[in-house]
A and B are shown apart, each in its own frame.
Chain A
Amino acid sequence: MDQHCNITKPRIPIMADAGSVEALLQLVEKADGGVDSLDVASRIGVDHQVIVGAVKSLQSLGDVISAEQRSSKHWELTEEGTELAEQGSHEARVFSSIPPEGLPQSELMKLSFGKIGFSKAMSNKWIRVDKSHEGGPRIFTSVESIQDQVREKLLLVQRGAALEEKDKNELKKRKLLAEVTVKSYWITRGSSFSTTLTKQETELTAEMIATGSWKDRKFKPYNFEAMGVAPDCGHLHPLMKVRTQFRQIFLEMGFSEMPTNNFIESSFWNFDSLFQPQQHPARDQHDTFFLSDPALAHDFPQDYLERVKRVHSEGGYGSQGYKYDWKMEEAQKNILRTHTTAVSARMLYKLAQQEKFTPVKYFSIDRVFRNETLDATHLAEFHQIEGVVADYGLTLGDLMGVLHQFFTKLGITKLRFKPAYNPYTEPSMEVFSYHEGLKKWVEVGNSGVFRPEMLLPMGLPEDVSVIAWGLSLERPTMIKYGINNIRELVGHKVNLQMVYDSPICRLDS
């Protein structure tokens, strides 16, 4: 249904001519079994359309009358037929045009009815032609008088009488008669029938309220089938609505938000500080966006940098290290951060610089960048959701417990964990949830315990464990809002109608 129909069509139709409504009601009152609207029109002497208008107007007032639409077929004179009914058939007019002394054929043919009338009168043998008459062929009557049966039949039809099938067909052939379908209403009294109608108000007005006149008025019913008028308003983007909910969940769980407003990161904080070796594939040109300007980062915490270098190249803190030639130039390379874990590393380093360690719970939801091949579900940038907990003696069981609480808030309760590999967490676990729709386990996130080679060079106490997990914001949003192509959700090719129409976001329902 057109949602704007209330703007273009008023809920209550305009009242029809009051006189014909009244006359109609009088007739309906008198007729016991009901009346046909065509009959009403001819009895009142108005056009049928006026009665149709009156019927519709009365229908809108409730159950005053009941009107059932019906259609009937009947024979009607064509324009030519009407002319003939008035003036006589062509052949009759030919007959009466001919004086006793006859008429030259050429004269007869000049008359409007001459040509058709001549041949019909000839075949009726009402007239004859004298072809050898001096001055050209001449027409004479051949009978005394005639009976114009064609006209008589047409007049019968006009009066509504029936004709024989043979006659009807002949007149139809001469295009004097036509069969027409007429739509009409069969009108009977309704349950609240009355011949006197009170005028119905369209809307309540301030004046009626002030004077109290509304108490004595009748109001026309509304059409509740129509849609309302769309409010004039702005809309929030669905991905941001989901982000708001995730923020809310973290805040409810006591997690503080990390400052992730730094898209440009050095390879040092993005990779090296996380104990990700410099030859790791993620650090390749085809996975990461590097910067040409500003190409390099400067100003690192020097003693920490030395400890990072040592743990990569020689080991330490109980580790064998990766045993390779760690290069400062690699660490200095500026990139668009590939994960928000770079910010977690900065935050954990900052935490380690506190005089006394205090437990923390951190979260962030922000953009990360990958120089990847793009498809329907992958873009070069997406939002990463990340949670981090640092405290003394955290276990793998604690990580799974926190994940269980987090995902329960998303409405996901059935979780299982798969061993995985990640260069900076050990153990690493992929989080799977059972998807009731797909009837299978689907990956919903990644998690792990940060490696000692990452935490100890920062200066965190040895018995402090840091557990962390991450997932993308886009995937749950696409599932939530039923979007298959990520470009319809993120970026300028977004479908604004989708934004306008998207419901509020409740992740747990």
Chain B
Amino acid sequence: MPTVGVKRDLLFNALGRTYTDEEFDELCFEFGLELDEITSEKEIISREQGDSKASGASDVILYKIDVPANRYDLLCLEGLVRGLQVFKNKLEAPRYTRVSPTTGEVQRLIITKETAAVRPHAVAAVLRNITFTKERYDSFIELQEKLHQNICRKRSLVAIGTHDLDTISGPFTYTARPPGDISFKPLNQTKEYTATQLMSLYKTDSHLRHYLHIIEDKPVYPIIYDSNGVVLSMPPIINGDHSKISLTTKNVFIECTATDLTKVRTEEDVMLSFLIFFSGFFCKELAYRKEKLSGEFINRKVGISEPTEKIAQLLTRMCLLSQPTGAGDEIEVEIPPTRPDVIHACDIMEDAAVAYGFNNIIRTTPRTYTVANQFPINKLTELLRQDLAAAGFTEALNFALCSQEDIADKLCKKISDTRAVHISNPKTAEFQVARTTLLPGLLKTVAANRKMPLPLKLFEISDVVLKDESKDVGARNSRRFCAVYYNKSPGFEVIHGLLDRTMQLLEVKPAREQGYHIQAADDSTFFPGRCAEIFVHGKSVGRLGVLHPDVIGRFELSMPCSALEMDIEPFL
């Protein structure tokens, strides 16, 4: 969820009144925003860099407001004020129109085929006859940064460049060239660099180095020129110094470049955000759309009974200009281009509910009659857990993800023998695979609790994940029961006794054919001659035994340990 920081007094000034913090919090809540923090620049610097750095910083009160991820139109002070004023019935929703420039030509951005290899999409717009104040300028720059960090996905998807149109002349060309062939004076530098030199220059830049990887390995780099060969920008890294905007800029040229056709909508959203900022000329058609729906539909879905006229008013307060058509309870709703999130009647219905006030809706109880069922494997698990605790064992709860080492090397097994599913993008080794056995988790729990009095008797009933080609996703969960006994002596008889008790609970008698029995088995996790396989009705369900000293050592334990692990799904 993006956060917008606005100066409180500027905000109140724009809203035409002041609020107490509580009142403003309440207003935000009703509108679907969250007043996240009340702070100041001084406080932020002091918190992040220490008091000494904060002296002299501004102590003007800042409101940090969380904006929902679909509302790019609220990402700046100007957009927020507009939305809230319309919501409070103090302003009519603005209507945006495309205007042609009064003087000069319509600007054009020409995209060449070379860009296909690196960053194939671009759109552009011009904002004309604007006046910056210091605050507006800062807000404009911040909006650009907010967009970069959020919908633009840290510039990997979309990059935005803004330029002083009066320093450059169209038509503009968006192309791509080998880095050695690109040379210009980048923003806030004093001399020209080639693109290759720039990449090494910015390697150490705390801000820009995060974006270098986006084009670094490409044979050609994207570049935008004006008709005189002046470089506007090298997206997504840096703009040229020549066309930089300032407080005195009157006309702004905005370009957006993007990597992926599926993300083109995002570019449009970016443009729309700027549009909210200043009304102005827009290269794309400003599409207002009309929808018709019935008042009854909204009443029925929300659970209210408002007259058609009132519903139209509610929607209008959400910047969706609406009126009854006169045909029954039909309402015509105009969806502005600033609300690309409205794509279905249900989105309109939500806005009506927000304007009505969620907390004004009467809470009702649906008459849905149903009989509850437990999921059988969960029911069995719940019942078994109770009785295993009653048998003196304590329940552990371990992660389903772990390292390859945990399920293989540390258990003296090969990873290729495990049927484990592998994660392609783990941030650390702890998330390399899904566990195929509960044993490592229990042994790690023992290791983390070595200071506790012995014996340690632990169990867990939970799922492991195994590859299984018969499933649509190629893997399935398997519900396991695992227990360990850790003491000065191995205590095989204790773990064996727990198996007997478990079988008693599951109504399986000790018998070779129509019951359960254990029989010697070889398993590298266990001490030779101290491992047995568990058979139920002739089928193997698991193993128990005394752990191999190598396993004990690899889990950083020092005492003998016996363990039991078995499937419980066969007992359903």
Identify the A interface with B (CB < 8 A): 232-237, 239-240, 244, 247, 250-251, 253-266, 278-279, 281, 284-286, 289-300, 315, 317-327, 334, 336, 359-361, 367, 369, 371, 379-381, 389, 391, 393-398, 400-402, 404-405, 416-421, 426-429, 432, 441, 449, 451-453, 465, 490-497, 499-500
Q: Which of B262, B385, B424 contacts A325 (CB 8 A)?
A: B262
Cβ contact within 8 Å between B457 and A234: yes
- Report how far A250 CA is from B30 CA in the complex, Å: 30
Does B81 interact with chain A (Cβ within 8 Å)? Answer: no
In the complex, chain B residues whose CB is within 8 Å of the CB of A327? 262
Cβ contact within 8 Å between B365 and A492: no
Does B553 interact with chain A (Cβ within 8 Å)? Answer: no
Known contacts: A240-B395, A298-B472, A334-B473. The answer to whether A263 contacts B448 by CB under 8 A is no
Q: What are 9 pairs between A and B in contact, CB < 8 Å?
A: A232-B392, A244-B382, A263-B400, A289-B401, A289-B425, A294-B473, A427-B350, A491-B399, A496-B394
Does B520 interact with chain A (Cβ within 8 Å)? Answer: no
Known contacts: A293-B422, A397-B302, A494-B397. The answer to whether A334 contacts B474 by CB under 8 A is yes
**Nearest 5 CB-CB pairs, A to B?**
A397-B303, A395-B303, A419-B32, A294-B474, A421-B68
Cβ contact within 8 Å between A235 and B389: yes
Does B246 interact with chain A (Cβ within 8 Å)? Answer: no
In the complex, chain B residues whose CB is within 8 Å of the CB of A497? 452
Say whether chain B's binding surface is mostly helix, strand, loop, or mixed: mixed
Q: Which residue of B lies closest to A233 (CB)?
A: B392
Near A by CB (< 8 A), chain B positions 370-428 give: 370-375, 377-378, 382, 385-386, 388-401, 421-427
Q: Which residue of B lies closest to A261 (CB)?
A: B477
Known contacts: A334-B474, A380-B401, A492-B444. The answer to whether A294 contacts B369 by CB under 8 A is no
- Min CB distance, B543 to chain A, in Å? 21
Identify the B interface with A (CB < 8 A): 29-32, 34, 68-71, 153, 157, 260-266, 300-304, 341, 343-347, 349-350, 353-354, 358-359, 361-366, 368-375, 377-378, 382, 385-386, 388-401, 421-427, 430-431, 434, 441, 444-445, 447-449, 452, 456-457, 459, 463, 465, 467, 472-477, 479
Known contacts: A321-B343, A395-B303, A401-B365. The answer to whether A496 contacts B421 by CB under 8 A is no
Q: Which of B263, B361, B452 contacts A400 (CB 8 A)?
A: B361
Cβ contact within 8 Å between B68 and A234: no
In the complex, chain A residues whose CB is within 8 Å of the CB of B426? 289, 371
Q: Which of B347, B358, B434, B474 contacts A418 (CB 8 A)?
A: B358
Cβ contact within 8 Å between A396 and B374: no
Cβ contact within 8 Å between A397 and B363: yes
Q: Which residue of A lies closest to B28 (CB)?
A: A418
Q: Which residue of B lies closest to A300 (CB)?
A: B472
Known interface pairs A234-B389, A429-B358; 6 further A-B residue pairs with C-beta atoms within 8 A, sorted by A's residue number: A380-B399, A395-B364, A419-B350, A426-B347, A449-B346, A495-B449
- Min CB distance, B26 to chain A, in Å? 10
In the complex, chain B residues whose CB is within 8 Å of the CB of A417? 358-359
Known contacts: A255-B372, A323-B265, A494-B448. The answer to whether A264 contacts B473 by CB under 8 A is yes
- Report how far A480 CA is from B467 CA in the complex, Å: 37
- Min CB distance, B166 to chain A, in Å? 35
Cβ contact within 8 Å between B303 and A398: yes
Known contacts: A233-B389, A318-B344, A325-B262. The answer to whether A299 contacts B370 by CB under 8 A is no
Q: Select the residue from B300, B302, B369, B424 with max chain A CB neighbours within 10 A.
A: B424
Q: Which residue of B lies closest to A315 (CB)?
A: B343
- Report how far A496 CA is from B442 CA in the complex, Å: 12
- Report how far A320 CA is from B29 CA in the complex, Å: 29
Cβ contact within 8 Å between A389 and B368: yes
In the complex, chain B residues whose CB is within 8 Å of the CB of A254? 369-372
Known contacts: A257-B374, A264-B473, A417-B359. The answer to whether A236 contacts B343 by CB under 8 A is no
Q: Which residue of B lies closest to A394 (CB)?
A: B366
Q: Which residue of B lies closest to A362 (CB)?
A: B370
- Report how far A239 CA is from B423 CA in the complex, Å: 26
